[in-house]
Amino acid sequence: MQKMVAKKTWVKSRKKITIKCGTCLMCDRVLMSDEGGWIVNANKDYFCENHRANEHSCFDEYLKQKKEWDQLNC
């Protein structure tokens, strides 16, 4: 006769794990994995992204500064 053995399954931890993904290049804010609202460009620079009306994100400010810098160096 066979014994009835309960199936062993992996139990997911109930702790919520958050990981530091990076820091904003413009304002040095710590960007966490559970927050969202951040942008990574091709150079792997991290930027804050605020989804509020009438407020520019750090990425928008970076693009303005980069555009001005490129115009001065031409």
Is the residue at 13 inside a domain?
A: no
| Residue 25 tokens, joined | 């290049």
- CB distance 5 to 27 below 8 Å: no
pLDDT digits 0-9 by tens, 1-33: 667 777 777 777 777 788 888 999 999 999 988
pLDDT digits 0-9 by tens, 55-64: 778 888 999 9
* Residue in this structure with the two tokens 């014994």, named with its chain if needed: 3
* Residue in this structure with the two tokens 């066979």, named with its chain if needed: 2
Please indicate, yes or no, whether the overall pTM of this predicted structure exceeds 0.75.
Answer: no
Is the residue at 2 inside a domain?
A: no
Q: How many domains does the chain have?
A: 1
Domain extent at residue 45 = 20-72
Is the residue at 14 inside a domain?
A: no
Q: Residue 1: what pLDDT? A: 62
Is the residue at 60 inside a domain?
A: yes
Is the residue at 9 inside a domain?
A: no
What's the pLDDT band for 36 if we cut at 50, 70, 90?
A: confident
